[in-house]
Structure 1
Amino acid sequence: MLGAIVKSIFGSSNERYVKSLDKLVRQIADFEPTISAMSDDELSAQTQKFRQQLSAGSTLDDILPEAFATVREAARRVLGMRHFDVQMIGGIVLHRGEIAEMRTGEGKTLVATLATYLNALEGKGVHIVTVNDYLARRDAEQMGQVHGFLGLTVGVIVPNLNEYERREAYAADITYGTNNEFGFDYLRDNMKHDRSQMVQRPFNFAIVDEVDSILIDEARTPLIISGPTDDKSDLYMQVDAIVKTLDPEDYETDEKSKSVTLTEDGVEKTERILEAAGLLEGSNLYDVENTQVVHHLDQALKAVVMFKRDIDYIVKDGKVVIIDEFTGRMMDGRRWSNGLHQAVEAKEGVQIEPENQTMASITFQNYFRMYPKLSGMTGTAATEAAEFFDIYKINVVTIPTNVPVRRVDEEDEFYKNTLDKFAAIAKLIRERYESGQPVLVGTVSIEKSELLSDFLTKEGVQHNVLNARFHEMEAHIVAQAGRLNAVTIATNMAGRGTDIQLGGNVEFRVEDELRDMPEGPERDEALSKIKAEVAAEKAQVLAAGGLCVIGTERHESRRIDNQLRGRSGRQGDPGLSKFYLCLEDDLLRIFGPDTLFSRMMNSNLADGEAIGSKWLSKAIETAQKKVEARNYEVRKQVVEYDDVMNDQRKVIYEQRSDIMDAETVDDVVVEMRQDTVNAIVADACPPNSYPENWNVEQLKARALDVLGIEIPIEAWIEEDGVDPEVVEERVAALADEHMAAKMSQDDPTIWRQVEKSILLDRLDHFWKEHLATLDALRQVVFLRAYAQKTPINEYKQEAFSLFERMLETIREDVTRILSVSELRMPEPMDLPELPDFLTGHIDPLTGFDDSADGDGSARQAALFGALASAPQAAVGPGASGENPYADLTISRNAPCPCGSGNKYKHCHGALS
């Protein structure tokens, strides 16, 4: 009560903050007379003037008022749009790294030009992130006119650009693109082998359009690059056949570590067999060109010699299933990494599953948190303000509308079942249709859109059905959803980012109707006619009550409901919104069939009867809050797990960056060799131990295998006073001498290139393996909860030890390759090309890939679009033996879209 009284007197904290910005808005207005009097050339020259001021020590805040006034005038001249004062407030909020919540139709795209221009003056680059490619292109083209007029360059990142085009787009002052494209480019850049191959610049400032969709809705799903997925079945089988011809005296085994090493005679014998099979480059197995063959050979040796059927694994239904060494249980779904599982499959003669490993991944949370300054804009963010601050440390500021809202939001209506509800909706739509009032209907799925479409067809109502499949086409339809008699059914995301203007959108009509008409009197006349028609139609629509928005059910997030409502009543227009609900809605099922709420509805409502109540609406809102809290916990958990990997990712990527930038990495190589020597000696000769306790044979074998040297350890032991430290020093000295002699035989420049190349290659190789291991760990760590252990803490501990082990493996592998291999490098060395990757934005709950479009609805649309056009007479694979869904991206473990209830791989997917 007291808080309400204080708020009524002093206003909310948001209102007080917005009011505090009035002073800045007045300063911007004070510059307007001077800037309006400038010529076009003088206005464009403002950019150079601001950059000189920044170079002289001024800050962005110092030049903000004049810079904003400059953009306002440029937009007026170029686009015929002048920023309102509330839009200036929005621009200030964006510049300060906050989220501007502005209602639909308030001109968020134009607002962004203010903060974008100001921050681009530093020359560090500004990224504008959109939810789909269409909006990226559209905004870059439209708002790019303002920036171009003021002398700034604009780039756009969309799919299918080559490396040069991407580099040019990122080099621009302002770059538009989708969240997926920015994220994937970051991952790809950190797989390149030279700084010149990278396309992105260091992060500076990003403005995220539809920030709630990108940073909230999609935040559960990481971006993943996987590949390459070449089928190497033949190579596995060839190497397996070769290994099976070897005799026990050709290799040495270590039961403890389950490792197998070829003897000298074994190496020579294997080389001759590989040479005859055409698998060997040159005549030396350990040439750098044969790295892949050596890798397969090692794994095949392990599989054939060390891994025993019915002890380490069993063969079940034509698949190799791992047996847990501690429990003896089968571990379905688990696979050994690094090609070992494929080697065992080749040994057993079963189908070899292709290797498909994660090469890089990142969540949107950790990607966008790398920007030193991050801001966003949307029509609906206040309900998620706590999450935005908790995860991204950015505040949400609600910006008042330029004109008071006149839309009427009616109470929800409740029905017993879906058919009653849709019949009532269809009846209301027909009434509004007959009166000329435009109607926009929001549905939660394509299925519901099709169902409502059937009802409207029976009522004789002409309508459009949109499902966010083709963004550009649907933007044109949504833009005209405010015309007289228009009835548009859309999924919640369809046409997002496009304004619905009453009477129609002149710009879109011109593009649709006059696209092919040449400039001239005839076109001018047609343009005038369109403008007159739109103005007349707008007057009729206003008289009919403006846009009527109908929600067919409540979404699990209040924010999505508010987005739909916000379509009506833009810029002071009249409008109406209403939601229809029933007990069969997904959200209402949260209450359960036996609750008081359900019993009351069933006992008090006759078929077709409706009930409306503020109490019921409040109960729905409470249910939404519970679901939102649950979803937030899911996203928060994703962040917690990815934070562990993110710390490691930063270390690896920084290490790669340092290697690429360094002229020489010999100091790193020497340090790695010293660490490897320390580890080898410590393993065979524990500190403070006596020579009789040393594993002399192991030390000699490891020194030869890893360092390429033979050590007279027996002679050293005969000396008095020799201890592990002395052995370590002597082994290190021998290893250094061996490498110095080896390097003296080649050009130092080539050696520097070789060292850098091998360092990067091994770093990438073992990082990929580490990612696969962490993926497997994340899948099983939840079982630790049964032992009263906290899964995330267990994950952190194991991930840290795995990371340390990976670094040790990298040091040893780099040392081995440089010490043992005979390197014959071409001059000059060509930079390796990155292979074709599979990029995915896979939803972990559904298995669908959302990477086709930012809002994730394209795959739904494609799926249900196919359903609408495919024969529906039978469920399951048809007699024709054809798969009507073959062109769709459907996870093999997802439910089959035919509705059979089976997994796709056991239904229509089996026909592919």
Structure 2
Amino acid sequence: MFGLFDSTKKALKRYRKIALQIEALKESMKQLSNEEIQLKTASYKERIKNGETLDDLLVEAFALVREASTRVTGLTPYFVQLMGGIAIHEGNIAEMRTGEGKTLTAVLPAYLNALQGEGVHIVTVNEYLAKREAEGEIGELFKFLGLTVGLNLRDNDREQKKAAYACDIMYSTNAELGFDYLRDHMVLYHKDMVAQRGYPYAIIDEVDSILIDEARTPLIISGPAKNTQNLYMQSDRFVKSLNDEDYELDVESNTVELSESGITKAEQMFGIDNLYDLKHVSLLHHINNALKANFTMTNDKEYMVVEGEVLIIDQFTGRILKGRQFSEGLHQAIEAKEGVEVKKETVTVATITYQNFFRMYKKLSGMTGTAKTEEEEFVDIYNMNVIEIPTNKPVIREDAKDFFFVTAEEKYNALIEEVKIRHEKGQPILIGTIAVETSELLSTMLRKNRIPHEVLNAKNHEREAEIIAKAGLKGSVTIATNMAGRGTDIKLGEGVVELGGLAVIGSEKHDARRIDNQLRGRSGRQGDPGFSRFYLSAEDELMVRRGGDRFKTIIGTLQRAQETGTPVTSRMITNLITGAQKRSEGVNSEIRKNVLKYDDVLRLQREIIYAERTSVLTNQSVESQVIRFIEDVVEAEIDEFIVPVGRNKFDIKDEAIIHHFESFMIPRDLVKIEQINQLDEVEIVKFYKDLAIKLLTEKKELVPIEVYNEFLKVIMLRVIDTYWMRHIDTMQELRQGVRLQSYGQQNPLITYQREGKRLFDEMTYSISKDVARYATLGKIQLNVSREAVVKNTNTNQGTEVKKDNKPKKQKVRHSQLPWNRR
């Protein structure tokens, strides 16, 4: 870690020198008229075309943005913001405290990189923030500088999205970028792809939230449903019938498994011999989900039930993830547990994780208030260093020692007492909680004490901006889950500075230290005074799960020594808690790395398939690819009928070859047995290749060349999409199946890699075989049209893909045509 710290020190030294050069241009930039500023942009673009690099232009470009910002927004970037901008331009993460102006900082590197003409994507955590920047002062600033600004919203249609992606600067959420990528590789015409320029450069706001917190959440586009509701109900009934000794719950890792007696009960109930036989993968998967739903998932913590619907609560922000589902059937298991309607489990037709999506960018950088604790992971996975940018004014917030209690009840009572004292003098208070249930408990306690307050949690998130705007006013008390208005500053009201600024009180500590730091950082912005303290107890989830044996011993001593209700402040306990958090961060980091290893198998496969598919869309003709498929298939299929019987001697089963090929590629009446009797093992392969290619190419004489080319493209797209979508689903089932391998002392990842490669090879051969079959046997219809394999696809963000209102084309009916197979 010292190396990383030194790199920050070294980088800051260099950035200071560059920032001084930028500030030295202040007067000369002031002399420019508004028109001259816009002309500068055109001249910079020209200089880049003539061979100058972005680094050559950095000082001038940043100085220009600095002056333009003063004119448009009335804000002049501070010296530290110039330094942050340089860090971001260099592909790093700028760690800047809350209220230090990250939004304006991002304009500097975004402007510089946009001069290359490939586009810059600025990524935010929600559409409200994306819209606020693109349509507000920041968007105006970019336009004043002569750049175009786009906004990529979920509800945009394809044309609006294409226009946004074509802009110099595009604001978007991380989810929408990922879904656009997946949808782009499901389109039927190249012109319909929205990201025509690919993925040049992204600046990610709240980078830790997107690349760490959400790294394990895959983006999923799903198709028609599987019918598995009954198995969920049966598994749930079975799990609810278990006694304590029938399952083993590991509190620390939050996992649950059947014990020996539980396995025996399952085998008896479902009438099977061996639950862990691979043929029972599906049943075991359903039972495991039912165990997870019943024993590790809690209503009002991980999810809520509203009007008969199970809604996920984001564990990092406390927001409801409307329309999103737990993957791999866990959602359906929770529906069965809660006795609401079990919805059909859908089939995944396209998926990617944020980790693999963002690694596709040629250049990636970000900014956040809290990333240093995860620096190692940022370096390992994304090759980004975390550079801590100094604050503009010194931080004078008082971070008080943690108060520790034996029971949760004592902790909450003491917390309410502190709120009462501070509220009486009018100091605004922000109480941070981890779960919705804690925020509701504290709200009830405040009501009993007649303290007026606002609650910001998953049940009340519509009024987020309004609640946060008032949180710094005199006398206000706000309870917030971790969402606490990321991206929004809590500004202090009149007379609040004299009262000590905003008081932040944490009701427990999070698994990750940086989430606690975010809560603290809501107070004491831009040199304001402030206060923070965490109230903790031995019953907090973090301590129960990660405290370890040493912690239990200390608690025993404390219970004997502590008078009821008196808080303990002990360095030893604080160190223990930090240790528990570090362990938790380590465990979560390992899980993310493991997810990435599994996803990397699919990533390589996805890149091969998507590249093949894109070449079908972009090439004028795919005839050469089809001929290659035909040749490969003929060689592979004929091989089993040519048996070596001695040195350079072969037994060729002529009749069997004719019979085999007529079933899928070459009609029997085109081959005479006496014709192929005379051919040796090389000649017969050539004979069949030539015959199949002739069947293909003679179609050219029957129709215009563009109809022939379209015929082949339709076959290729239809076959690739059909097999790829089936393959993704198979890979998901394989991933669940290999978890059983660990029981057989085998490394599940190695099994997954090996089996995944075998399945992929099988799939690519099946694609070749089907393309060859339909290309040789299919009859061309003049009004053939491309058609999607899966219609009405949904995303796991709960929205339906926008469909263009184009007139419907007449369908072609012909048994041999792949685009009409049902």
| Pairing 1:187–2:182 present | yes
- Aligned ranges for residues 758-773 of structure 1 at < 5 Å? 758-773=715-730
Cα shift readout 1:483-524 (whole Å, capped 9, x = no counterpart): 111111100123111001111xxxxxxxxxxxxxxxxxxxxx
Report the alpha carbon displacement of residue 818 of structure 1 after superposing the two structures with TM.
Answer: 1.9
Q: Which secondary structure state, in structure 1, belongs to the residue aligned with residue 411 of structure 2? A: helix
Check conservation: 2:509, 2:534, Cα contact below 8 A.
yes
Q: Hey, what's the Cα distance between the residues in 2 that align with 1:230 and 1:797?
A: 27
Which of residues 647, 651, 658 in structure 2 aligns to 1:700? 658
Which of residues 586, 595, 601 in structure 2 aligns to 1:629? 586
- Aligned ranges for residues 578-589 of structure 1 at < 5 Å? 578-589=533-544
Q: Identify the residue that residue 691 of structure 2 maps to in structure 1.
A: 734
Check conservation: 1:546, 1:569, Cα contact below 8 A.
yes
Q: Identify the residue that residue 303 of structure 1 maps to in structure 2.
A: none
Report the alpha carbon displacement of residue 769 of structure 1 after superposing the two structures with TM.
Answer: 1.2
Letter in 2 for 1:564: L
Report the alpha carbon displacement of residue 413 of structure 1 after superposing the two structures with TM.
Answer: 0.7
Letter in 1 for 2:373: T
Letter in 2 for 1:664: S
Check conservation: 2:666, 2:777, Cα contact below 8 A.
yes
Check conservation: 1:206, 1:373, Cα contact below 8 A.
yes
| Pairing 1:429–2:387 present | no
Q: Hey, what's the Cα distance between the residues in 2 that align with 1:155 and 1:322?
A: 60
| Pairing 1:610–2:567 present | yes
- Matched residues, number: 702
Cα shift readout 1:602-643 (whole Å, capped 9, x = no counterpart): 322343232111111011000100010000010000100111
Q: Give the structure-1-normalised TM-score.
A: 0.73
| Pairing 1:217–2:186 present | no
Q: Hey, what's the Cα distance between the residues in 2 that align with 1:448 and 1:624?
A: 20
Assess, with a 3 A threshold, how the Cα gap between structure 1 residues 686 and 151 changes in structure 2: closer, same or farther: farther
Q: Hey, what's the Cα distance between the residues in 2 that align with 1:20 and 1:173?
A: 29
| Pairing 1:591–2:547 present | yes
Q: Identify the residue that residue 86 of structure 1 maps to in structure 2.
A: 80
Which of residues 162, 183, 199 in structure 1 aligns to 2:194? 199
Which of residues 839, 844, 851 in structure 1 aligns to 2:795? 839
Q: CA RMSD in A?
A: 3.0
Check conservation: 1:462, 1:487, Cα contact below 8 A.
yes
Assess, with a 3 A threshold, how the Cα gap between structure 1 residues 655 and 330 changes in structure 2: closer, same or farther: closer
Q: Identify the residue that residue 167 of structure 2 maps to in structure 1.
A: 172
Q: Identify the residue that residue 282 of structure 1 maps to in structure 2.
A: none
Q: Identify the residue that residue 208 of structure 1 maps to in structure 2.
A: 204
Report the alpha carbon displacement of residue 60 of structure 1 after superposing the two structures with TM.
Answer: 0.9
Check conservation: 1:35, 1:70, Cα contact below 8 A.
yes
Assess, with a 3 A threshold, how the Cα gap between structure 1 residues 799 and 32 changes in structure 2: closer, same or farther: same
Cα shift readout 1:337-380 (whole Å, capped 9, x = no counterpart): xxxxxxxxxxxxxxx99783211111111100011110000000
Which of residues 381, 392, 397 in structure 1 aligns to 2:387? 397
| Pairing 1:749–2:706 present | yes
- Aligned ranges for residues 495-514 of structure 1 at < 5 Å? 495-503=485-493
Q: Which secondary structure state, in structure 2, belongs to the residue aligned with residue 706 of structure 1? A: coil
Q: Which secondary structure state, in structure 1, belongs to the residue aligned with residue 583 of structure 2? A: helix
Letter in 1 for 2:149: V
- Aligned ranges for residues 452-531 of structure 1 at < 5 Å? 452-467=442-457, 473-503=463-493
Letter in 1 for 2:222: S
Letter in 2 for 1:595: K
Letter in 1 for 2:581: Q
Check conservation: 1:686, 1:724, Cα contact below 8 A.
no
Report the alpha carbon displacement of residue 436 of structure 1 after superposing the two structures with TM.
Answer: 1.2
Check conservation: 1:556, 1:627, Cα contact below 8 A.
yes
Q: Which secondary structure state, in structure 2, belongs to the residue aligned with residue 465 of structure 1? A: strand
Check conservation: 2:644, 2:650, Cα contact below 8 A.
no
Q: Identify the residue that residue 780 of structure 2 maps to in structure 1.
A: 823
Assess, with a 3 A threshold, how the Cα gap between structure 1 residues 227 and 550 changes in structure 2: closer, same or farther: same
Letter in 2 for 1:86: V
Letter in 1 for 2:691: L
- Aligned ranges for residues 122-201 of structure 1 at < 5 Å? 122-142=116-136, 143-200=138-195, 201=197
Q: Identify the residue that residue 99 of structure 1 maps to in structure 2.
A: 93
Assess, with a 3 A threshold, how the Cα gap between structure 1 residues 329 and 474 changes in structure 2: closer, same or farther: closer
Report the alpha carbon displacement of residue 747 of structure 1 after superposing the two structures with TM.
Answer: 2.7
Q: Hey, what's the Cα distance between the residues in 2 that align with 1:328 and 1:102?
A: 53
Q: Identify the residue that residue 331 of structure 2 maps to in structure 1.
A: none
Residue identity (%): 42
Check conservation: 2:219, 2:352, Cα contact below 8 A.
yes
Assess, with a 3 A threshold, how the Cα gap between structure 1 residues 810 and 472 changes in structure 2: closer, same or farther: same
Structure 2 residue runs without a partner (length 5+): 230-266, 287-341, 801-822
Report the alpha carbon displacement of residue 763 of structure 1 after superposing the two structures with TM.
Answer: 0.8
Q: Which secondary structure state, in structure 1, belongs to the residue aligned with residue 215 of structure 2? A: coil
Report the alpha carbon displacement of residue 232 of structure 1 after superposing the two structures with TM.
Answer: 14
Q: Identify the residue that residue 436 of structure 2 maps to in structure 1.
A: 446
Which of residues 674, 679, 690 in structure 2 aligns to 1:715? 674
Q: Identify the residue that residue 345 of structure 1 maps to in structure 2.
A: none
- Aligned ranges for residues 13-32 of structure 1 at < 5 Å? 13-32=7-26
Which of residues 558, 575, 578 in structure 1 aligns to 2:530? 575
Assess, with a 3 A threshold, how the Cα gap between structure 1 residues 222 and 359 changes in structure 2: closer, same or farther: same
Deviates more, 1:460-469 or 1:652-661: 460-469
| Pairing 1:34–2:28 present | yes
Which of residues 496, 499, 503 in structure 2 aligns to 1:544? 499
Check conservation: 2:83, 2:389, Cα contact below 8 A.
yes
Report the alpha carbon displacement of residue 45 of structure 1 after superposing the two structures with TM.
Answer: 2.1
Report the alpha carbon displacement of residue 82 of structure 1 after superposing the two structures with TM.
Answer: 0.6
Report the alpha carbon displacement of residue 552 of structure 1 after superposing the two structures with TM.
Answer: 0.3
Assess, with a 3 A threshold, how the Cα gap between structure 1 residues 671 and 325 changes in structure 2: closer, same or farther: farther
Report the alpha carbon displacement of residue 88 of structure 1 after superposing the two structures with TM.
Answer: 0.2
Which of residues 661, 668, 676 in structure 1 aligns to 2:618? 661
Letter in 2 for 1:700: I
Q: Hey, what's the Cα distance between the residues in 1 that align with 2:98 and 2:617?
A: 47
Check conservation: 1:321, 1:331, Cα contact below 8 A.
no
Report the alpha carbon displacement of residue 595 of structure 1 after superposing the two structures with TM.
Answer: 2.2
Q: Give the structure-2-normalised TM-score.
A: 0.81
Letter in 2 for 1:96: E
Check conservation: 1:666, 1:752, Cα contact below 8 A.
yes
Q: Hey, what's the Cα distance between the residues in 1 that align with 2:271 and 2:685?
A: 43
